[in-house]
Amino acid sequence: MAPATTTTIASPACSGRCLSNNSSGRGYPSLSRMGSGKKSCPDYDYLDSVMSMRSTRIHSSRSFHSASIVLASDEEADLCAALGGATIGAGATMKRWRVEDLPDVGGDLDRLWLEDVAPVPNPGFGEVRVRVSHAAVNPIDWKLLDPKGSVSAFRQNAPYTPGFDFAGVVECAGDGTDLDVGERVIGYLGLCELSSLGSAPGSTGGSSGALAEYLCVSECRVAVIPGHSDPQELAGLPLAGLTAYQGLFTGHGGRAHKDGGPLGDLKAGQTVLILGGSTAVGSIAVQLGKAADARVVATASSSPAGILGSKSFATKLDWVRSLGADQVVDYTAEGWTGKLGENEFDMVLDCVGEDEELGWAARVLKPGGCFVSVGVKDPKVPQGAEFRFARFIVAASGRDLGDLVTLTEQGKITVPVDSTHDFGELRAALERSRSGRAVGKIIVTVDESAMEEAAV
Ligand SMILES: NC(=O)c1ccc[n+]([C@@H]2O[C@H](COP(=O)([O-])OP(=O)(O)OC[C@H]3O[C@@H](n4cnc5c(N)ncnc54)[C@H](OP(=O)(O)O)[C@@H]3O)[C@@H](O)[C@H]2O)c1
């Protein structure tokens, strides 16, 4: 008989201060099973130092209970076969998108190519291999194709497979993982975590990206999704949802603004201005703000929104209102900032990244308020400004993602889907994102049968 291996199955019990029981008292019980109970998940230490921000673990007082079970390795193999039946042998191949020769690409989408016969990756310690059903496209995917562009610091080492967001099924679990084969998961692979700038443990300076039939990912970066959930919709949740969540509430990384204050600390009863309510990030932020009992004001335009879910919206203003915003301001109207009250806001979450927005923030933010931006390139904080400014990069966190999955289960947030594209149509999906007009997430169907077969 093969030697027994010990697998720790963690059952989380949240007892400390986090979004789930912050001073708003609302409570967001976590369904996430990821990372909980893992004493040595390197990602969580890394989150504290990502982007050189000083860390204060303001949400760090979670405690977890865990129990151990013992499985013999041949029993594990039987279990794998019974649950997924899909562990694939040596020499197996898959399709994946590739970016070659990054220095010459310069944003040219024709330099992307679909490789038909690529090796299926094998999970390392703490990793799972996921059979991908859907991936989501994000602005970062096309921004990375321009080596001299705004995100040049995060360049990937070519050749690489693009894509950061995925939904799929755990097809094989490496040593040191708690996930079961056959579980449905979503995840954000992590820009900082994978790029050459990243100093995360295991950083490859490249990416085993989401736009492939299989990928390997640290289990710390994924969250389990319920069997009945829609993988197409949830594939769009990770990057945009984590950005909104961490920007508004800091999240489990516990990152601080460089002057020491928390990055995003929205509380019930406070007022937040969300710049770009019709961006994917902003649309989730509006819903999160309302779920936290904050007053939410958002900007959007009167351009057509179209059909989202089962409803049709004449304009993006209408759509953002339907997400729960208390007030929506047309940012294309002359003098629109005049509609915002003096010292009205505790926080601005900027989901657009226009440099000039900071100029008027001093008037609308309360003294001591916070301006959190996902994209301002050259922040010029006005002299004598009494607000705090933070520019941040989202961190890959399975725990935060688990909280977001819980909120979708509770019906508190939905993920808007702008369009879906076949796996072979990645360029069209990237063009749609690059148009800057998307209304929600752009989804690529990689292999729909992945989820269906897992359900059998
Ligand atoms: N720092 C980070 O960690 C991080 C993470 C995620 C995303 N991001 C960045 O955040 C930005 C948003 O990403 P996303 O995926 O949410 O974008 P997106 O969904 O592609 O945004 C498209 C939407 O933005 C709206 N929009 C364009 N310009 C606007 C403006 N000046 N004010 C208000 N709305 C405007 C467009 O509506 P109109 O028809 O009105 O133009 C459209 O509905 C991107 O720059 C992305 O790279 C950064």
Centroid of ligand 1 to alpha carbon of 150 (angstroms)? 14
Determine contact, residues 55/256, Cβ cutoff 8 Å. yes
Strands 165-173 and 184-188: antiparallel
Contacts of 411 (CB under 8 A, 6+ apart): none
pTM of the full structure: 0.84
Centroid of ligand 1 to alpha carbon of 350 (angstroms)? 9
What is the number of the ligand 1 atom nearest to the C-alpha of 151?
47
What is the number of the ligand 1 atom nearest to the C-alpha of 240?
6
Name residues contacting ligand 1 (CB within 6 A): 138-140, 239-240, 243, 276, 278-281, 299-301, 303, 316, 331, 351-354, 374-375, 393-394, 433, 436-439
With the most atoms of ligand 1 within 8 angstroms of its CB, the residue from 279, 313, 400 to mutate is 279
Place of tokens 């991936």: 135
What is the number of the ligand 1 atom nearest to the C-alpha of 436?
22
Centroid of ligand 1 to alpha carbon of 438 (angstroms)? 8
Structure tokens, 131: 């059979």
The angle that helices 238-249 and 280-291 make with each other, rounded to 10 degrees, is 50
pLDDT tens string, the chain, 456 residues long: the values are: 333 332 222 222 222 212 222 222 222 323 333 333 333 455 544 444 443 332 222 222 122 122 222 223 334 333 333 333 335 666 799 999 998 776 555 678 887 999 999 999 999 999 999 999 999 999 999 998 887 788 877 777 778 899 999 999 999 999 999 999 999 999 999 988 877 554 444 445 455 699 999 999 999 999 999 999 999 999 999 999 999 999 999 877 677 777 777 788 899 999 999 999 999 999 999 999 999 999 999 999 999 998 888 889 999 999 999 999 999 999 999 999 999 999 999 999 999 988 788 888 989 999 999 999 988 877 788 888 888 888 888 999 999 999 999 999 999 999 999 999 999 999 999 999 999 999 999 999 999 999 877 655
User: How far is residue 96 from each of residues 113, 131, 132, 153, 447, measured CA to CA in Å?
Assistant: 9, 12, 11, 25, 12
Q: Going by CA atoms, what residue is nearest to atom 37 of ligand 1? A: 437
Domains of the chain from N-terminus onward: 4-72 (no CATH), 74-241+395-455 (3.90.180.10), 264-391 (3.40.50.720)
User: How far is residue 19 from each of residues 58, 222, 249, 252, 288, measured CA to CA in Å?
Assistant: 10, 19, 7, 9, 11
